[in-house]
Structure formats: structure tokens, C-alpha cells
């Protein structure tokens, strides 16, 4: 009987971590559905970006209130997890406050965790008020209705509950230490939870132990549940922000990637020595021609799919987007959310069909992202610049437009006219090349 709690704890840990590993495998499989892309260049710059943007949160503090609050929650989350290590070891070994022999260092750590927990509570309340009372514009856009709104709030409630459980556990522990209960040796400093002591006054030793143990168990079970909730939530970014900023774009913004096959054609056309009537080389005819652009998630590259899973749905991109600001249907955040939703749909299809994707008559284009949204983009890069975790919604828009133009010849009329003019007149205007300087004489 003595070891029952330890066994139960080990079981909870195995189940919690087991589900998490299963979700990580699904996530990796889905991301790998994307096309390969070479991101092995410039490792030093990539590490620097990860340290600066993901670890240092430099792009978050561009908007100071939200940024600083976010840093508090982030640091609180990371540091309080040191406490989780002690909880796990205590749970497995049947000890209590295993690290307490560290003496004053331990006291300092527990005191810092408590102060951080309080700051996290304050930050979470501010976040909740911004979302639900002040209703900041970027949180009430059409794509934020339903699950995204619930998810945003849910995570705030979970964080709040976890912090209160942590402080309740410490308060009960502190009280037990003061009444000299067995196993509850004097250890730790409790600058915040001491204010909860009046709530514990008059409780017997057994009731206090019940409060302390219940808070302890709910705290660790809550953390394991949170770990597994991540996969279904925008909060996956707390893990994926690191690889995403590492693999993020390092080319200058505005520099588009050229399609190798098109570049080759253009070079051939411009080569004065090339024979326009020569038969194509054997290697060019052997392979099936590559699909131009993207109409579904499998046509995107894996970094773009990683981007979709990393999106925090913060809406900074949408709030900077000139198309969105002028009332167009486009929202770069929705582009990322749609990509993730479609990818999840493809993943579920594979789960249901023994790992094989069975065509479902749907695709990212039209079923999720409309042509109107795609053509509303000015390719200004403001969304890429604004994103705090190096996501590039524009690259997905460009790939999908590429598909429309090159596979379906389905560009809007204005663009088709412009392209014909460039082809015929060497300029986007409908004038003969010879007339291009006429304006000088006007
Ligand atoms: S690049 Fe397109 S989607 Fe991004 S901010 Fe500019 S207009 Fe909006
Ligand atoms: S793409 Fe970036 S800026 Fe836009 S919602 Fe996602 S995380 Fe926020």
C-alpha cells in the first residue's frame, strides 16, 4: 500500500508522456508531407535568429504591453518547470521536497517561483481582459470565432488554475511545516502563498494534508493534460517557435524564389546560340513535368507546413496587412490557420486509411482559401515583418497564385492584360514600345 501513490504517479506519467510522443509523431509525419527544401545554409545566422527571436522574444516587445506580459508568462512557464522536475522526482521516489537540502538556494528558488506565479496570474488576467472586455480588434476578426476564441481563453484558464494550484499547495505545505507535521520539514520561502494562510486557519493536520496532496496531484496532472492539449491548440508555438525561427526565412524580404524549370526556359530563350528547333534533351522528357505552385498542402514545402503549426494566431500580421485594413477579405493569419486545418484534415484522412492519403475531393485552394483572398495580397511583406515567430504567410499566397497562373491560366483580367502588355510591349502599359517616351513632349 505504501507504494500505491508512486505506482499511480508513474502510470500517470507514462500515459501523459506516451500520448504526447504519439502526437509529436503525428505532427512530424504531417509536416514531412511537405516538399523538401534546402535550409542547411548559414547555420550561424539561423542559430542567432532562434536565440534572438524565440528565446529573446525580441519581436514580441515591439508592442510593449502585450510583449512584456508575454515575456512574463513565458519566463514564468519555463522557470516554474524546474519545480515540476522536483514534483516528478518526489512522485516517483516517494520523497517530499527532494531539493530542499539545497538550503538557502532552495528557499530562493521557491520564492522566485512564487513571485513569477503571481506575475503570471496578473499577466493572464490582463490578457483575458484584452480579449474579452476591451475586445482588441485583432482578436475579434471573423477567423477568430468558435474554436480559436475558445482555445485562446482556455489556455488562459489552464494557466490560471495551474498557478493557483501551485500557490495552494505551497500554502498548505507552509502551514503543515509550521504545525510540525511529520514529513513536512521546514523548507522553502513563501512570499506569496503565505497570504493564503488565513484560508487554512482552523484546518486539522489531516485536512491540510488533503489540501496539499490534492493541489499537488491536480497540479502535475494538469501539467500533463496541458502537454497533451498543446497539439490541438495554437499553443503548440511554445515548442515550435524554436525550430520555426531556426528554419525561418533568412533571404532578404521581397526576394522571391525562381522556379528552376522556368529559369531554364527563360535562359534558353535568351541564349543567342540556342537552337529553338532542337529536340529537348533526354533527361527533360523522361521526368513528369513538375506541378507549378500549390493547390493543396502537399504542394507546399515542409517549412511552410511547420509555419502553419507554429502560428500563435496573434493576428499581428493581419493588423499590419494593408489589404485587411482596407476591408479586403484577406487575412494572413487566416491563410496560416487554413493551412493548418487542411493539413490536420489530410493527417486524419491518413490515420483512417492506414497511413495512406485517400483523395477526398478537397484541397487548400477554394475549399479553404479563396481566390479573392489570394489576389487581394499586395505582396508588401508587412505580415512577414510583423510576425513574432518568423512565419511567412506571403510565401504560401505566392505559391497558390503561381498555381492559378501557371496551371490554370486563372489570373484576374487586369493581370492578364498586364502580362500580355509585357509580352507584347515590354512594359505593363498598352502602348507600343516606341511611344513610351511620348509623355516627355506633352
Ligand atoms: S504581403 Fe499580402 S498578406 Fe502580407 S501584409 Fe502584405 S498584403 Fe497582407
Ligand atoms: S502568422 Fe505570425 S503574426 Fe500572424 S497570427 Fe500567426 S504568429 Fe501571429
Tell me, in angstroms, the distance from the centre of ligand 1 to residue 383's CA: 5
Give the closest ligand to the alpha carbon of residue 395.
1
C-alpha pair distances (Å), 418 with each of 261, 394, 409, 415, 430: 23, 22, 14, 5, 8
Taking the chain, what is the end-to-end CA distance rounded to the nearest angstrom?
99
Q: Which residues line ligand 2 (CB under 6 A)?
A: 311-317, 332-333, 336, 386-387, 389, 391, 393
Tell me, in angstroms, the distance from the centre of ligand 2 to residue 316's CA: 6
Distance, C-alpha 196 to centroid of its chain: 36
pLDDT at 220 over 60: yes
Higher pLDDT, 429 or 376: 376
pLDDT at 67 over 90: no
Nearest to 369 by CA among 390, 327, 340: 340
Calculate mean pLDDT across residues 405-425: 87
Calculate mean pLDDT across residues 241-246: 95
Percent of the chain with pLDDT over 70: 97
Is the Cβ atom of 332 under 6 angstroms away from ligand 1? Answer: yes
Give the closest ligand to the alpha carbon of residue 333.
2
Contact present, 222 and 158 (Cβ < 8 Å)? yes
The torsion angles phi and psi of 166, rounded to 5 degrees, stand at: -60, -45
Higher pLDDT, 186 or 398: 398
Q: Distance (Å, rounded) from C-alpha 262 to C-alpha 114?
A: 60
Q: Whose alpha carbon is nearest atom 6 of ligand 2?
A: 311
Nearest to 97 by CA among 167, 4, 184: 184
Q: Whose alpha carbon is nearest atom 4 of ligand 1?
A: 383
Radius of gyration of the chain (CA): 28
Q: Distance (Å, rounded) from C-alpha 154 to C-alpha 149?
A: 8
pLDDT (0 to 100) of residue 383: 96
The torsion angles phi and psi of 369, rounded to 5 degrees, stand at: -110, 125
Percent of the chain with pLDDT over 90: 52
Name the DSSP class of 137. G
Segment 310-342, tens digit of pLDDT: 999 999 999 999 999 999 999 999 999 999 999
Name the DSSP class of 291. P
C-alpha pair distances (Å), 428 with each of 226, 258, 269, 393, 418: 54, 21, 20, 27, 5
Nearest to 190 by CA among 173, 204, 176: 173
Segment 256-267, tens digit of pLDDT: 888 877 888 788
C-alpha pair distances (Å), 137 with each of 68, 127, 315, 330: 20, 14, 9, 15
314 CA closest ligand 2 atom index = 8
Segment 149-162, tens digit of pLDDT: 999 999 999 989 99
The torsion angles phi and psi of 356, rounded to 5 degrees, stand at: -105, 140
Calculate mean pLDDT across residues 425-438: 82
- Per the document, the length of the chain is 442
Task: Give the confidence band of 184 by pLDDT, cuts at 50, 70, 90.
Answer: confident
Q: How crowded is residue 242: how many other Cβ atoms within 10 Å of its Cβ?
A: 17
Name the burial class of residue 329, with classes exposed (0-12), middle (13-18) and buried (19+) by CB atoms within 10 angstroms of its CB. middle
Tell me, in angstroms, the distance from the centre of ligand 1 to residue 377's CA: 5
pLDDT (0 to 100) of residue 427: 81
Reading the block at residue 413, the C-alpha cell is 483580367
Give the closest ligand to the alpha carbon of residue 379.
1
Strand partners, 365: 369
Task: Give the confidence band of 60 by pLDDT, cuts at 50, 70, 90.
Answer: confident
Task: Give the confidence band of 395 by pLDDT, cuts at 50, 70, 90.
Answer: very high
Calculate mean pLDDT across residues 92-119: 88
What is the value of pTM for the model shown? 0.87
pLDDT at 254 over 90: no
Quote the mean pLDDT of the chain. Answer: 89
Amino acid at each position: 500500500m505504501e507504494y500505491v501513490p508512486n505506482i499511480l504517479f508513474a502510470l500517470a506519467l507514462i500515459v501523459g508522456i506516451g500520448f504526447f510522443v504519439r502526437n509529436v509523431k503525428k505532427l512530424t509525419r504531417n509536416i514531412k508531407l511537405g516538399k523538401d527544401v534546402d535550409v542547411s545554409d548559414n547555420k550561424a545566422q539561423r542559430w542567432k535568429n532562434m536565440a534572438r527571436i524565440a528565446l529573446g522574444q525580441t519581436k514580441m516587445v515591439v508592442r510593449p504591453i502585450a510583449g512584456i506580459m508575454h515575456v512574463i508568462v513565458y519566463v514564468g512557464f519555463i522557470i516554474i518547470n524546474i519545480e515540476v522536475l522536483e514534483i516528478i522526482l518526489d512522485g516517483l521516489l516517494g520523497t517530499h521536497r527532494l531539493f530542499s537540502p539545497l538550503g538557502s538556494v532552495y528557499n530562493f528558488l521557491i520564492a522566485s517561483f512564487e513571485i513569477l506565479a503571481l506575475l503570471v496570474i496578473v499577466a493572464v488576467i490582463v490578457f483575458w481582459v484584452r480579449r474579452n472586455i476591451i475586445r482588441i480588434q485583432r482578436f475579434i476578426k471573423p477567423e477568430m470565432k468558435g474554436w480559436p476564441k475558445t482555445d485562446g481563453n482556455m489556455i488562459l484558464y489552464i494557466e490560471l488554475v495551474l498557478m493557483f494550484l501551485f500557490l495552494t499547495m505551497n500554502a498548505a505545505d507552509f502551514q503543515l511545516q509550521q504545525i510540525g507535521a511529520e514529513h513536512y520539514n521546514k523548507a522553502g520561502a513563501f512570499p506569496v502563498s503565505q497570504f493564503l494562510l488565513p484560508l487554512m486557519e482552523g484546518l486539522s493536520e489531516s485536512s491540510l494534508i488533503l489540501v496539499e496532496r490534492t493541489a499537488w496531484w491536480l497540479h502535475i496532472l494538469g501539467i500533463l493534460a496541458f502537454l497533451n492539449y498543446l497539439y490541438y491548440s495554437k499553443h503548440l508555438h511554445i515548442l515550435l517557435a524554436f525550430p520555426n525561427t531556426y528554419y525561418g526565412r533568412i533571404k532578404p524580404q521581397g526576394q522571391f524564389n525562381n522556379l528552376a524549370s522556368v529559369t531554364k526556359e527563360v535562359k534558353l530563350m535568351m541564349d543567342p546560340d540556342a537552337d529553338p528547333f532542337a529536340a529537348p534533351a533526354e533527361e527533360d522528357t523522361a521526368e513528369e513535368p513538375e506541378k507549378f505552385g500549390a493547390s493543396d498542402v502537399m504542394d507546399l514545402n515542409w517549412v511552410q507546413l511547420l509555419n502553419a503549426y507554429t502560428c500563435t494566431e496573434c493576428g499581428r500580421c493581419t493588423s499590419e496587412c494593408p489589404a485587411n485594413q482596407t476591408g479586403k477579405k484577406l487575412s494572413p493569419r487566416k491563410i496560416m490557420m487554413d493551412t493548418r486545418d487542411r493539413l490536420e484534415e489530410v493527417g486524419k484522412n491518413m490515420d483512417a486509411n492506414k497511413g495512406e492519403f485517400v483523395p477526398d475531393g478537397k484541397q487548400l485552394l477554394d475549399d479553404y482559401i479563396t481566390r479573392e483572398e489570394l489576389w487581394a495580397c499586395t505582396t508588401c511583406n508587412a505580415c512577414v515583418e510583423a510576425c513574432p515567430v518568423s512565419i511567412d504567410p506571403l510565401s504560401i499566397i505566392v505559391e497558390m497564385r503561381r498555381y492559378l497562373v501557371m496551371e490554370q491560366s486563372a489570373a484576374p483580367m487586369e493581370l492578364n492584360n498586364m502580362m500580355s502588355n509585357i509580352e507584347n510591349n515590354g512594359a505593363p502599359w498598352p502602348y507600343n514600345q516606341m511611344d513610351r517616351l511620348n509623355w516627355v513632349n506633352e
